[in-house]
A = this chain, B = another copy of it.
Amino acid sequence: MSELRRDPVDGRWVIIAPDQRKRPVDFYTAPYPATEGPCPFCPGHESVTPAEILARRDPGSRANGPGWRVRVIPNMFPVLRVEDELRREGRGYYDKMSGTGAHEVIIESPRHDDRHATMSEALLEEVFWVCRERMLDLRQDRRIQYVLVFKNYGTAAGANLEHPHSQLIALPILPKKLIEETEGAREYFRHHERCIFCDIVSQEVEEESRLISANEDFIAIVPWAPIYPFEIWILPRRHQPRFEEPTDRLYARFAQILAEVTRRLERALTRPHYNAVLHTSPFTDKHREYFHWHLELMPRLTRRAGFEVGSGFYVNPIPPEDAAQFLRQTEIAG
């Protein structure tokens, strides 16, 4: 028996249709195609990439040479450029804007075959501090409304290179999903004087059925109305509007739970490809009460999202309670 569930934040409905599991669900976990030629992100090949914007380096190492742990470079094929002046223009009934912004790559480890599931928590934490530094820098540019930080892991998730990296796109507009989330959260706050994400955290901790893991500062859940099978949200337990304003030890605990969750995911589903997207309060939003940053992680196990993007109608064959139980029971080392 299927049921429809409503996402409490953005309001979309998803059909949870467990009967679908009887069909040959094509959960594919294709390996990366072998990289042709030398990897441009590996140490020693720094001259192949654009000059670094920022790097965390060992003492004595020099910019654009080896010796880094985390390295940020401009994307070689940027979708937006910081040099372009921001122009807005109408054309009949249509609106457009210049492609002004920034597009950067965060190389997360010197090791070519590292993954979130294999990286040390200390290195993951360092990646978060680097992200934060870039966000604080870009936020000074008044043309920028949002910095979208995301990771495509695996070809099914849109990655071209195996070497572990995330991307950062600074936008002169808010991505639609963020508009929907902030509007939904604002409306909820208006009615209840509470942050909806704080309420989600308390309900999930109490119900336990969708909880995957928790530590002092975070919980990891399969959300109530997930679009993707095995979709995972990691949320701070306490109210935090912005990722880039961490409290003491927060990033260390975020690293701990992200490492654990990705290890569970790798073990449970034989290293699935996935997308991860950081959701944080827009720079332009001065209200701090209703938004609560979090990470959404979407495994790319099925190929059904295309038609669904066109209709806004989603079917998920795996009930989130089953997915959470499966991930919770997956045994991982240490």
Contacts and interface: CB of A to CB of B under 8 A. Distances in A.
A144 interface: no
Given A77-B22, A176-B13, A298 B307 contact: yes
Interface string A295-325: 0101010011111111111010000000000
Given A177-B312, A311-B148, A2 B79 contact: yes
A4 B157 contact: no
Interface stretch (A54-62, A122-130, A132-140, A165-173): A165-173
Given A78-B19, A307-B157, A3 B98 contact: yes
Contacts of A315: 79
Interface of A: 1-6, 8, 11-13, 15, 17, 19-20, 22-24, 77-81, 84, 92-99, 148, 150, 152, 155-158, 160, 169, 171-173, 175-180, 196, 199-200, 203, 207, 224-225, 227-228, 275, 277, 296, 298, 300, 303-313, 315
28 contacts: A1-B84, A3-B99, A4-B97, A4-B99, A5-B94, A6-B97, A8-B93, A15-B79, A15-B99, A17-B99, A19-B78, A20-B77, A23-B77, A23-B160, A79-B315, A93-B199, A94-B225, A150-B307, A152-B307, A155-B303, A171-B313, A178-B312, A228-B306, A277-B311, A298-B307, A305-B306, A305-B309, A308-B309
